[in-house]
């Protein structure tokens, strides 16, 4: 999966979780930029991402994510180490 494809797929996940097809994210996007991205939504986003990409995040991993760029990079790492 190229980085562009990763972003497309992750954007789709975010749009589904927040039920908003207009959301556009980039590497610098943070939770503050997306309406409704609270701690509960964050868990749902993790769950949805795990389902979509068939990966599993460690408890320590998703707590330190600061923005979408780091999120996507983490997915990429998981996919390559599979």
Partner 1 sequence: MLSWLPEHPDLGRALSGARAIADPMDRLRAAVRLAGHDRDVVATGRVDRLAGDGLRGGGPDGIAANGLSPLRIAVLSSHTVDHLIPAIRVAGLNHRMALSIHVGAYGLYRQALLNGDPELADFAPQLVVLALDMAAVLPGLPLGTSQDEVEAAVAAAVEDLRLLWRQIRARYGAQPVQQTLVDPSPSLFGSFDGLVPASPASLCARLNAAIRSAAREDGALLLDVDWQLPPRWGEAERVDPVRWHQAKQLVNPTFAPLYGDLVARVAAALAGRSRKCLVLDLDNTVWGGVVGDDGVEGIRLGQGSAEGEAFLAFQRYAARLAERGVILAVCSKNDDAVARAAFDQHPEMALRHSDIACFVANWTDKATNLREIARRINIGTDSLVFVDDNPAERALVRRELPEVAVPELPDDVSYYAARIAQAGYFEAASLTGDDLSRSRSYAANAQRAAAMETATDMDGYLRSLEMRLTVREIGPIDRPRAAQLINKSNQFNLTTRRRTEQELEALLKDPSALGYGFRLSDRFGDNGLISVILARPDAAWPDDDLLIDTWLMSCRVLGRGVEAAALATLAKAAIRRGAAALIGEYRPSGRNGMVASHYERLGFSPVETPSGAAADARFWRLPLAGADLPTPFIAVELIQ
Residues in contact with partner 1 by CB under 8 A are: 13, 16-17, 19, 21, 39-40, 43-44, 47-48, 51, 57-59, 62-63
What phi-psi label fits residue 36: left (phi over 0), alpha (psi between -120 and 50 degrees) or beta? left
Q: By C-beta, is 1 or 47 nearer to partner 1? A: 47
Q: How far is the CB of 29 from partner 1 (least distance, A)?
A: 19
CB 23 within 8 A of CB 68: no
Q: By C-beta, is 51 or 77 nearer to partner 1? A: 51
Q: By C-beta, is 5 or 54 nearer to partner 1? A: 54
And the tokens for 15? 């749009």
Cα–Cα distance measured from residue 59 to residue 14, given in angstroms and rounded to the nearest whole number: 20
């Amino acid at each position: 999966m190229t980085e562009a494809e990763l972003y497309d797929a992750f954007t789709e996940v975010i749009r589904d979780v927040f039920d908003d097809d207009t959301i556009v994210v980039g590497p610098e996007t943070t939770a503050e930029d997306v309406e409704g991205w609270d701690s509960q939504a964050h868990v749902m986003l993790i769950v949805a991402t795990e389902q979509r990409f068939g990966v599993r995040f460690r408890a320590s991993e998703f707590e330190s994510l600061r923005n979408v760029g780091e999120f996507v990079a983490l997915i990429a790492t998981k996919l390559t180490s599979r």
